[in-house]
A and B are shown apart, each in its own frame.
Chain A
Amino acid sequence: MGVIEDSAMLDDSLQGSEGIDKQFLAAPVKSAVDKFQLLPEFLKVRGLVKQHLESFNYFVRTEIKKIVRANDLVTSRFDPSVYLRYKDVWIGKPSVVVDGVTDSLTPQKCRLSDMTYAAPIFVNIEYCNGSHGHNTHPQFKKDVVIGRMPIMLRSSSCVLYGKDEDELAKLGECPLDPGGYFVVKGNEKVILIQEQLSKNRIIIDTDKKGCIQASVMSSTEMTKSKTIIRMEKEKVYLVLNAFTSKVPIMLVMKAMGMETDQEVVQMLGRDPQYATLLLPSIEDCASIGIYTQQQALDFLEKKRKKSMSRFGKDEGALGVLRDIFIPNIRVRDNNFHLKCVYVVVMLRRMMDAILNKDAMDDKDYIGNKRLELSGQLLALLFEDLFKSMNDQLKFNVDKILAKPSRSSRFDVSQHLLKDSITVGLERSLSTGNWDVSRFKMHRKGMTQIVTRLSFIGAFGSMTKISPQFEKSRKVSGPRALQPSQWGMLCPCDTPEGEACGLVKNLALMTHVTTDEEEGPIISLCTCFGVEDLSLLSGEELHSPSSYLIILNGLILGKHRRPQRFAKVMRELRRAGKVGDFVSIYVNEKQRCVYIASDGGRVCRPLVIADNGISRIKEHHMRELKDGVRNFDSFLREGLIEYLDVNEENNALIALYEGEATHETTHIEIEPFTILGACAGLIPFPHHNQSPRNTYQCAMGKQAMGNIAYNQLCRMDTLIYLLVYPQRPLLTTRTIELVGYDKLGAGQNATVAVMSYSGYDIEDAIVMNKSSLDRGFGRCIVMKKISAAFQKYDNTSDQFSSPRRSQHDAEKTQILDNDGLASPGEIIRHQDIYFQKECPVDPKGSMKSHPSQTPYRTSKQTYKGAEGETAVVDRVALCSDKRNNLTVKFMVRHTRRPEVGDKFSSRHGQKGVCGTIVQQEDFPFSERGICPDLIMNPHGFPSRMTVGKMIELLGSKAGVSCGRFHYGSAFGEPSGHADKVEDISETLVKHGFCYNGKDFLYSGITGMPLQAYIFMGPIYYQKLKHMVLDKMHARGMGPRQLITRQPTEGRSRNGGLRVGEMERDCLIAYGTSNLIYERLMISSDPFEVQVCRKCGLLGYINYQSKTRVCSTCKNGDNISSMKLPYACKLLFQELQSMNIVPRLTLAD
């Protein structure tokens, strides 16, 4: 590529830089125009979770009003003059009403005291209490609360909106926290992005039997339905849920008023191929003897499912055709012409696919997908709840009006209930179950708790896309990487295992659109020469000279010069006359122009190029740096535009400016933006084997470090923190954009790649004890324990001060006088941390005076690892939902790494600590440098993580010269990643070998090692998996109640099971006594009395010291023997169901 380096120009651009970092500005600008600065600007304008925020804002500003407007009138059934009309709706500021006092809320307050961060939904209402009353005039009420809406953090309704760092700090919020989630009952919940197939679009694919079909998932405000037109055995059928079986398509056409076959064929196009394909269907229809619309309707009526009677009065086949059959095409005045055209277009597309397999649609293609975001999902829920609230209101009003005599004055507005919406929204958010009965929607797991294990993990939850398919499907198609994902969805960040490839994550610059008004676009289209469909004859529909114009799946008409039309529309968009996110896509194969303005499309910004010359010039970037410009001004001036996946097909996008040719229409802003936030942490990911990056994406979320600036003020159930977290020496641009350099999750460890001691096999690492002494890998684990003061009918739990002289004084010594452990105290296993007085009889205390009720002391003891000491970090008191006093204790435990703790570099190379070695035994270099950890070189060949090696080199050069080195993905050409050659040069300049290998002396013998050792700093993450939480062994211990076998699982102090396979091994080996010992002696031995005669179990009568067989009624033939208790249990259970197991005893 052409590289222009103009130092004079550069110097200018460096002046007055208040940019993201100085080092970057000091670096030479490699590409003609360095467009990287656009990225921080983009993120400044849109934030990293802009999709969620935008969608929620849209819901709050527009959609909620639309919903209310659509259902604004509630009228009584009995008295039409009694009504209630919603005039306006808006969301207030987040607040809570406690004892009639409105208190404003902050998110941190909600997190700490288990509240929901919600704002009241206000409406203005107009209502009339009926004609028989005193006044029939409509009355007005303003600011009526109908419920409380959970508010997304950082959205326009949130108190954090537009706040700067200081103000956020005052509110107890971390400025780096992206927002985009809700706080529901103290839990941070994020609504996962839902991946869906496009609505209202024709999709051509094959069904299970391989028949080609055209399907449309229709979705309107009223209905959702799926229409399928399928070619089965040469004939075309319609499959619709409302009909009991498939229906010949020609019949449907006739039912819609297109009685002549000729008309259909004409519409389909002149080409005889299509007519031939349709011929069997026409014959089929004729063979049943249906020729007129009425006949067809009668036929359909018979096939109609009778239960489908939800819509209005005019039922019947025509109603089905109007409301359920492709309902997105509206029928006005029973004119089915548009619907017929639509069906013909479907037919034609399907036949194209039959004639030419290339015309099939790809379901996995991102352009055919829509992402449903929190705003849309909440709107769905709100609409349902609002409607049912209105129904309930109507029902209640009717009930009162139905009563013949009413004593009190009747007021409609009094019957507004505000709980149903509040509770419904809260429940859905906290359980994640979306139940909208109207659309038969029952979806589970829509929300997730924001993972606060690490800062980057929180990002991961926000960008996660949950799939539409169930995860168990063993298909490879949807899991494969789609070429259309480029730049939209991160190619690395996907989980391993069953959800692999189905769960995706957004890339750094992806934007998800929200709905946009169609009306103006339609009128614009007509202005630019789109011929209205209703004016066209059937013949013209598929005339080769013109293209169909389709807006959001709706056929608008035809245009004779589609390319010109598209160009004009695009120019309008660039000029800001049409919404930025409207996409215009000319599909030459289908001879269509698709215009899309619907929500949920993924798109991303690109630099516009004219004939391969970028519109962004050096002075633009300079103005950006000077703060004269921002991202929006680039957009407004038509230098940048958003392209969605479909429109990308019409663009020729160059990766770098130098690679642009004459045909190039767009230039990428920065190639590393194809990765998401999680993959962006990896230095030199483009040098790694791809799965390694995927592993790191999963592991980065488990790494300990800083969570947020407010991490020490949070009361989460579990917090992992690193004591001395560091910023990676080898950073990437993404790290700086995301803020990982401020909230790191790892430490720069000096790593020597060599084998040492044999305790480093299988990726284990050897650690330096002195490094651990000095704080390497030290972490803090904080756990929350809660306790509550219960309220009873008449009494409640009381504080109790511990009596120090008691026998358990030892255990209560950390308690304060109020019976709560005091912060800063050291807490050990079995210590009492909470003590209260409970009424002995909470129910019966009604009669007695509260002061006389007897109390007993109840205690809670701490269960921690034995021998470990933890510290009570904080104690917080707050009141919960039912106004009970709850006490939360944060117990902190500081841990230093031990053998078995898991560590990982940023390249998917995890390993446990194999052994800890004294510093003097560690090798040391000529400069006295002693590594912090030793990694076995066998980790490299099979993993092929070259990026890790370059990270080591880069970090080493970084510490030598005091400049953070960069390793952004694909960053070498644009100067966002240091080249190995340059790194080597720096190394040599500072007296290191160019390849990073040092001459080391063995710390044990004192002689030089017989090889040069690759040594330098690598950023290591400590993962949350620690032996202390997992190690487990037991000798004697608890047993299960029923079987008397040892319990299972670490949490129950259970035994370790000798399973079938282990048993098989023992059998094969012939160690019968060992099996006997394991399966019986150490498990559940039990002595039973067996009657030799009847073979059944007897018992010992302890009173008379005799052994009796209860079946034979005597004790003559009793022997005692040992059985596993479970065996004895089996016998008895069998007996209880009338199966008699008899034991035959022999010597």
Chain B
Amino acid sequence: MPKVPLWDLPELPKNQLPPHLHLQKTRVFCNNDAPTHTENIHYSGAYAALGIDNSLRLDEFKKNFKVKVIKLNEDDMEFDLIGIDASIANAFRRILISELPTMAIEKVLVANSSSVVQDEVLAQRLGLIPIRVDPRLFDYMSENDVPNEKNSIVFKLHYKCERGSGERRTVYSHDLKWLPFGSEYVLPTETSSDSTSKPKTYTSFTSSQDSLLEFSNNPITVTPGIIISKLGPGQEIELEAHAVKGLGKTHAKWSPVATSWYRMLPEVILLQDIEDDDAQKLVKKCPVNVFDIEDIGKGRKRATVARPRSCTLCRECIREPGWEEKVALRRVKDHFIFTIESTGALPPEVLFTEAVKILEDKCERVITELS
């Protein structure tokens, strides 16, 4: 490289990073050996030497921030979060997993269980069954609360495999029956002294839950089809399950999502023109068909990047020596492909807005604490 005096260097455009720094700031380089430049540069004065302000501006953020829903159905959702920092996207992810409340079975009163599944294990299995109910309609039950219609849901499971039938039967989650009036089991301390008043049960519901508007024509159900236990001839399960509101932090059963995660938008760049045989080779290499071939006339072919979004980063295209110079695999740092897999309590889009609300609350709390 010939020596060039400093003043002869091309003038840098004002308020813009030099291209290589810009690339490092906005992309993760997925090299063959290890990813580099994974970190975000938050410090406002990081590029002060270049006279560039690195601080985040709200108006700019507002301008750039976009949400694009790619796929949405009852249970899962995929959307793009563009123009946001990883820490915020991660905060949403973390809140979704652990801080959004749902209802889950917490207490199981076993009246009779002769199945092979042990009571504790049965209780654990019941706990993990997602309940399809909006948790926002319920209160948390704190330690000295009595279970009432505002904080508990009671299910009943009574299943018996007749002795004569000769075959085993499977108990599914949809065999759980909702008891809108609360528990039917009488407390053992309650002696039938006064027959006039209703005997005290394990819950004290003042009214039936199905009298509430939300549940009147919409009984509370659980996700059907989950195997709870299997019964042999003569075996029986009779129990009551009490669901309460809780957070995924305490136990995974209260997590409203099966999982939720994001990935950064893949960017596949061909650093050189890849033609003919090499192009063919490259197309073959990729297991998810990221590359395509286009005709550039004269019977010559050139590889193009057709579907970078589907790149799984298997690094197959840069595995062979020499290819790393031809293909660059990158991730866009502020473009997140976010996936939410709901367990069924709330639709995924509601989950996300709820998560946003929680983050908002948290921020507000910090602000009030600070001021």
Contacts of A800 in B (CB 8 A): none
B222-263 CB contact bits vs A (8 Å, 1 = yes)? 000000000000000000000000001101110100011111
Q: Are B314 and A994 in contact (CB under 8 A)?
A: yes
Q: Are B116 and A918 in contact (CB under 8 A)?
A: no
> A1011 in the interface, Cβ–Cβ < 8 Å?
yes
> A988 in the interface, Cβ–Cβ < 8 Å?
yes
Contacts of A770 in B (CB 8 A): 97, 248, 252, 255
> B358 in the interface, Cβ–Cβ < 8 Å?
no
Interface centre among A871, A892, A1006, A1007 (most CB of B within 10 A): A1006
Q: A988-B287, A1008-B264 are in contact. Are A919 and B252 (CB under 8 A)?
A: yes
A901-935 CB contact bits vs B (8 Å, 1 = yes)? 00000000000000000111000101110100000
> A992 in the interface, Cβ–Cβ < 8 Å?
yes
How many of B's residues come within 8 Å of A, CB to CB?
Answer: 49
> B118 in the interface, Cβ–Cβ < 8 Å?
yes
> A277 in the interface, Cβ–Cβ < 8 Å?
no
Q: Are A1010 and B35 in contact (CB under 8 A)?
A: yes
- Interface SS of B by simple majority: mixed
Give B304-351 interface residues, CB cut-off 8 Å to A. 312-316, 319, 331, 339, 341
Q: A871-B118, A1006-B86 are in contact. Are A918 and B249 (CB under 8 A)?
A: yes
**A999 contact from B30, B259, B287, Cβ within 8 A:** B30
Q: A774-B128, A992-B314, A993-B315 are in contact. Are A1012 and B89 (CB under 8 A)?
A: no
Task: Give the Cβ gap from B125 to chain A, nearest Cβ, in Å.
Answer: 8
B259-298 CB contact bits vs A (8 Å, 1 = yes)? 1111110000000000000000000000110000000000
**Which A-chain residue is minimally distant from B341 (CB atoms)?**
A928
A968-997 CB contact bits vs B (8 Å, 1 = yes)? 000000000000000000011111111000
Contacts of A994 in B (CB 8 A): 314, 316, 319
Contacts of A1007 in B (CB 8 A): 38-40, 86
Contacts of B98 in A (CB 8 A): 918-920
Contacts of B315 in A (CB 8 A): 993
Contacts of B264 in A (CB 8 A): 1008
> B121 in the interface, Cβ–Cβ < 8 Å?
yes
> A769 in the interface, Cβ–Cβ < 8 Å?
yes
Contacts of B126 in A (CB 8 A): none
> B221 in the interface, Cβ–Cβ < 8 Å?
no
Q: Are A1006 and B252 in contact (CB under 8 A)?
A: no
Interface size class of chain A, counting residues whose CB lies under 8 Å from the partner chain: 35 or more
Report the separation of the CA atoms of residues A1005 and B38 in the bound assembly, to the nearest whole angstrom.
11
**B287 contact from A927, A928, A989, Cβ within 8 A:** A989
Contacts of A987 in B (CB 8 A): 314
Q: Are A1006 and B35 in contact (CB under 8 A)?
A: no
Q: Are A926 and B252 in contact (CB under 8 A)?
A: no
B39-67 CB contact bits vs A (8 Å, 1 = yes)? 11000000000000000000000000000
Report the separation of the CA atoms of residues A924 and B93 in the bound assembly, to the nearest whole angstrom.
11
Task: Give the Cβ gap from B294 to chain A, nearest Cβ, in Å.
Answer: 24
> B107 in the interface, Cβ–Cβ < 8 Å?
no
> B94 in the interface, Cβ–Cβ < 8 Å?
yes
Task: Give the Cβ gap from B74 to chain A, nearest Cβ, in Å.
Answer: 18
Q: A1006-B93, A1010-B35, A1010-B38 are in contact. Are A926 and B316 (CB under 8 A)?
A: no
Q: Are A1006 and B314 in contact (CB under 8 A)?
A: no
Report the separation of the CA atoms of residues A773 and B125 in the bound assembly, to the nearest whole angstrom.
10
> B24 in the interface, Cβ–Cβ < 8 Å?
no
Q: Are B118 and A894 in contact (CB under 8 A)?
A: yes
Report the separation of the CA atoms of residues A1009 and B313 in the bound assembly, to the nearest whole angstrom.
14
Contacts of A1010 in B (CB 8 A): 34-36, 38
Contacts of B262 in A (CB 8 A): 1001
A1094-1133 CB contact bits vs B (8 Å, 1 = yes)? 0000000000000000000000000000000000000000
Report the separation of the CA atoms of residues A67 and B268 in the bound assembly, to the nearest whole angstrom.
85
Q: Are B319 and A780 in contact (CB under 8 A)?
A: no
Q: Are B118 and A780 in contact (CB under 8 A)?
A: yes
Task: Give the Cβ gap from B62 to chain A, nearest Cβ, in Å.
Answer: 21
Task: Give the Cβ gap from A836 to chain B, nearest Cβ, in Å.
Answer: 25
Report the separation of the CA atoms of residues A705 and B254 in the bound assembly, to the nearest whole angstrom.
28
Contacts of A426 in B (CB 8 A): none
Q: A770-B255, A774-B128 are in contact. Are A712 and B34 (CB under 8 A)?
A: no
A74-102 CB contact bits vs B (8 Å, 1 = yes)? 00000000000000000000000000000
**A991 contact from B86, B116, B263, B312, Cβ within 8 A:** B312
> A824 in the interface, Cβ–Cβ < 8 Å?
yes
Q: Are B34 and A1012 in contact (CB under 8 A)?
A: yes
Interface centre among B97, B113, B255 (most CB of A within 10 A): B97
Report the separation of the CA atoms of residues A780 and B35 in the bound assembly, to the nearest whole angstrom.
43
Task: Give the Cβ gap from A1120 to chain B, nearest Cβ, in Å.
Answer: 53
Contacts of B211 in A (CB 8 A): none
Report the separation of the CA atoms of residues A778 and B125 in the bound assembly, to the nearest whole angstrom.
12
Task: Give the Cβ gap from A937 to chain B, nearest Cβ, in Å.
Answer: 14
Contacts of A873 in B (CB 8 A): 118
**Which B-chain residue is minimally distant from A870 (CB atoms)?**
B120
Q: A824-B110, A892-B118 are in contact. Are A920 and B93 (CB under 8 A)?
A: yes
> A723 in the interface, Cβ–Cβ < 8 Å?
yes
Report the separation of the CA atoms of residues A1012 and B116 in the bound assembly, to the nearest whole angstrom.
44
Give A233-287 interface residues, CB cut-off 8 Å to B. none
**A712 contact from B94, B116, B120, Cβ within 8 A:** B116
Give A777-799 interface residues, CB cut-off 8 Å to B. 778, 780
> B90 in the interface, Cβ–Cβ < 8 Å?
yes
> B170 in the interface, Cβ–Cβ < 8 Å?
no
Contacts of A918 in B (CB 8 A): 98, 249
Report the separation of the CA atoms of residues A824 and B115 in the bound assembly, to the nearest whole angstrom.
12
Q: Are A773 and B35 in contact (CB under 8 A)?
A: no
Give B1-55 interface residues, CB cut-off 8 Å to A. 28, 30, 34-36, 38-40
Report the separation of the CA atoms of residues A993 and B120 in the bound assembly, to the nearest whole angstrom.
41
> A775 in the interface, Cβ–Cβ < 8 Å?
yes
> B124 in the interface, Cβ–Cβ < 8 Å?
yes
> A1003 in the interface, Cβ–Cβ < 8 Å?
yes
Q: Are A930 and B312 in contact (CB under 8 A)?
A: no
Interface centre among B40, B89, B116, B313 (most CB of A within 10 A): B313
Contacts of A871 in B (CB 8 A): 118-120
**B259 contact from A928, A1005, A1011, Cβ within 8 A:** A928
**B35 contact from A712, A990, A1011, Cβ within 8 A:** A1011
**Which A-chain residue is minimally distant from B91 (CB atoms)?**
A1006
Contacts of B113 in A (CB 8 A): 824
Report the separation of the CA atoms of residues A946 and B370 in the bound assembly, to the nearest whole angstrom.
54
Report the separation of the CA atoms of residues A999 and B93 in the bound assembly, to the nearest whole angstrom.
18
Q: A712-B116, A924-B261, A988-B314 are in contact. Are A1011 and B34 (CB under 8 A)?
A: yes
Task: Give the Cβ gap from B246 to chain A, nearest Cβ, in Å.
Answer: 12
Report the separation of the CA atoms of residues A595 and B89 in the bound assembly, to the nearest whole angstrom.
80
Task: Give the Cβ gap from B170 to chain A, nearest Cβ, in Å.
Answer: 17
Q: Are B252 and A769 in contact (CB under 8 A)?
A: yes
Q: Are B339 and A928 in contact (CB under 8 A)?
A: yes
Report the separation of the CA atoms of residues A895 and B90 in the bound assembly, to the nearest whole angstrom.
33
> B144 in the interface, Cβ–Cβ < 8 Å?
no
Contacts of B191 in A (CB 8 A): none
Q: A824-B110, A989-B287 are in contact. Are A1006 and B121 (CB under 8 A)?
A: no
Task: Give the Cβ gap from B63 to chain A, nearest Cβ, in Å.
Answer: 23
Q: List 23 interface pairs A-B (beta carbons < 8 Å), by A numbering.
A: A770-B252, A773-B251, A774-B252, A778-B124, A780-B118, A780-B121, A824-B110, A824-B119, A871-B119, A894-B118, A894-B120, A894-B121, A918-B98, A924-B261, A926-B313, A928-B341, A987-B314, A991-B312, A993-B315, A999-B313, A1004-B90, A1006-B87, A1009-B35
Q: A770-B255, A1010-B36 are in contact. List 12 more A-B contacts (CB 8 A).
A: A712-B116, A770-B248, A773-B251, A773-B252, A824-B110, A871-B120, A919-B97, A927-B261, A1007-B86, A1008-B28, A1008-B35, A1008-B38
Give A contacts to B, CB under 8 Å: 712, 723, 769-770, 773-775, 778, 780, 824, 871, 873, 892, 894, 918-920, 924, 926-928, 930, 987-994, 999, 1001, 1003-1012
* A-B residue pairs, 10 tightest by C-beta: A1006-B90, A773-B252, A991-B312, A770-B252, A928-B261, A1006-B86, A920-B94, A894-B120, A1008-B38, A926-B263
